[in-house]
Amino acid sequence: MTGPLNIRILATAQALPRRVVSTAEAAAWCGIDPHIAERRTGVRERRWLSEGETALTLGARAAREALQVAGLAPNDVDVLLNASGSQLQPIPDGAALLACELGLRGAATYSLHGTCLSFLLALHHAALLVHTGQARRVLIVSSEAGSVGLNPAQAESALLIGDGAAAVLVGEAERPDQGVEAMRLETYPEGADYTRIRGGGSLLPPGHPDVTPLDFTFDMRGLRVLKLASQVVPGFLERLRPGLSVGLPGIDRVIPHQASQAGLDLMRRYGWPAERVEVTLPTLGNVIAASLPLTLHQAMTEGRARVGETLLLVGTGAGLSVGGLILRL
pLDDT at 77 over 90: yes
Mean pLDDT value across residues 230-253: 96
Report the pLDDT value the prediction gives residue 69, as an integer from 0 to 100.
97
pLDDT at 3 over 80: no
pLDDT at 82 over 90: yes
User: Are 40 and 145 part of one and the same domain?
Assistant: yes
User: Are 60 and 196 part of one and the same domain?
Assistant: no
CATH number where 252 lies: 3.40.47.10
Report the pLDDT value the prediction gives residue 198, as an integer from 0 to 100.
82
pLDDT digits (tens, 9 = 90+) for 35-59: 999 988 899 999 999 999 999 999 9
Last residue of a domain, which of 172, 195, 226? Answer: 172
User: Are 21 and 151 part of one and the same domain?
Assistant: yes
3-state DSSP call for residue 77? coil
pLDDT digits (tens, 9 = 90+) for 174-209: 999 999 999 999 999 998 888 888 888 888 888 898
Mean pLDDT value across residues 246-269: 93
Mean pLDDT value across residues 144-165: 91
Are the C-beta atoms of residues 95 and 110 closer than 8 Å to each other?
yes
Cα–Cα nearest to 329, from 269, 255, 230 = 255
Give the model's confidence band at 214: pLDDT under 50 very low, under 70 low, under 90 confident, else very high.
confident
- Please work out, in degrees rounded to the nearest 5, the angle formed at the alpha carbon of residue 178 by the alpha carbons of 241 and 121: 60
Mean pLDDT, rounded, of the chain? 94
pLDDT at 1 over 70: no
Last residue of a domain, which of 127, 150, 172? Answer: 172
pLDDT > 70 fraction of the chain, expressed in percent and rounded: 99
Mean pLDDT value across residues 303-319: 95
- The Cα–Cα gap between 37 and 227 comes to 21
User: Are 49 and 88 part of one and the same domain?
Assistant: yes
CA distances from 7 to 129, 136, 226, 304 (A): 10, 9, 33, 20
User: Are 284 and 189 part of one and the same domain?
Assistant: yes
Mean pLDDT value across residues 148-166: 91
Number of structural domains in the chain: 2
User: Are 130 and 25 part of one and the same domain?
Assistant: yes
Q: What is the pTM of this model?
A: 0.94
Last residue of a domain, which of 172, 187, 214? Answer: 172
3-state DSSP call for residue 49? coil
User: Are 88 and 73 part of one and the same domain?
Assistant: yes
pLDDT digits (tens, 9 = 90+) for 83-117: 999 899 989 999 999 999 999 999 999 999 999 99
Q: Which of 21-25, 151-155, 282-286, 304-308 has the lowest mean pLDDT?
A: 151-155
User: Are 30 and 159 part of one and the same domain?
Assistant: yes
Q: Tell me the H-state helices in 33-186.
A: 34-41, 55-70, 94-102, 118-131, 155-158
- Largest CA-CA distance found in the chain, in angstroms, rounded: 58
User: Are 157 and 242 part of one and the same domain?
Assistant: no
User: Are 21 and 164 part of one and the same domain?
Assistant: yes
Give the model's confidence band at 220: pLDDT under 50 very low, under 70 low, under 90 confident, else very high.
confident
Which residues, in sequence order, are CB contacts of 194 under 8 Å at separation 6+?
220, 221, 224, 225, 228, 318, 320
Q: Which domain holds residue 97?
A: 5-172
Give the model's confidence band at 127: pLDDT under 50 very low, under 70 low, under 90 confident, else very high.
very high
User: Are 21 and 165 part of one and the same domain?
Assistant: yes
CA distances from 288 to 154, 161, 269, 327 (A): 17, 7, 24, 21
User: Are 104 and 199 part of one and the same domain?
Assistant: no
